[in-house]
Amino acid sequence: MANMPKVNAEFGATPSISFDGEAPAGLKVVELVEGDGPMVRRGDTVTVNYHGVVWGKTDPFDSSFARHQPVSFGIGVGQVIKGWDQTVPGHNVGSRLVVSIPPEYGYGSRGVPQAGIGGGDTLVFVIDIISTR
């Protein structure tokens, strides 16, 4: 897919991300590894490992991989940013996704300055879907 970052396609491995060029327009998701577990549905509680970077940067602003602690939350119900709610449902447990999230699907024009996220920044997340219920 045009301009998506290169990410290692190994479920469970700490993500390495490299960028080439400008962020794509709009919300984009690529399934790097297709899992064979149950499909995530809106309203499920999903458990994931994730690694988030601002487009073009190397250091993550947040990474559950770095903490060795997966996180769980309701998906598709407004508990997380819109970019997650719209891309994670429909993928199976065991999948590794790379998601490019423009500001309007992320933290908006305010960004999250304390995390180093500017209002115009595109965010990239690598998401490993561990379980859903």
Instruction: Dump pLDDT digits (tens) for 60-89.
Output: 999 999 999 999 999 999 999 999 999 999
Write down all domains in the chain, each with its CATH number in brackets: 27-132 (3.10.50.40)
Instruction: Dump pLDDT digits (tens) for 87-128.
Output: 999 999 999 999 999 999 999 999 999 999 999 999 999 999
| Residue 3 pLDDT level (bands cut at 50, 70, 90) | confident
**Burial letters 74-108, b for 16+ CB under 10 A, else e:** ebbeeebbebbbbbbbebbbbbbbbbbbbbebbbe
